[in-house]
Amino acid sequence: MENIIWIILLIVVLFMVIRRVLPTKGISSIQAEELQNYLQRKNTDRPEFIDVREPHEFSSGHIPGFRNIPLSKLGSSTDQLPKDKEIVVMCRSGMRSMQAARILKKKGFSKVINVSGGIMAWRGKTTK
């Protein structure tokens, strides 16, 4: 009986890990190098850029054009975002921004893009 409990627990943990790692349907990912193309778009076609790091992380260096909405506040701040535009989300490494992308997707945003590797992978200009 004890073995069955351990097997069930292992299956549940594996399911949770796999679910976090696999891409979510409807969320695109781009590499940091591709982000420059999005940043150079004209105003009418320009996505909304959101950095979901905490304010102290954002102030230590961020990409010009991104605004800071920490992941912890994103769920209650989605009314500030246009649902008809692409939303590009990033964080330090790409993990929190993928969580943010999932939150946005659940809130009805259809064009959500995660920056894989986050700001750690970015080689362009940053601002403090």
CATH code where residue 40 lies? 3.40.250.10
Nearest to 92 by CA among 41, 35, 32: 32
Candidate list 91, 98, 100, 101, residue with the active-site label: 91
Domain range spanning residue 53? 26-121
**Residue 19 within any structural domain of the chain:** no
Question: Could you read off the pLDDT of 3-21 as tens digits, one per residue?
Answer: 888 888 889 888 887 766 6
**Residue 5 within any structural domain of the chain:** no
**Tell me, what amino acid is at 38?**
Y
Distance CA 109, CA 35 (A): 20
Contact 113/89 with Cβ under 8 angstroms? yes
**Residue 10 within any structural domain of the chain:** no
Question: Could you read off the pLDDT of 75-122 as tens digits, one per residue?
Answer: 999 998 998 899 999 999 999 999 999 999 999 998 999 999 999 999
101 is catalytic: no
**Residue 20 within any structural domain of the chain:** no
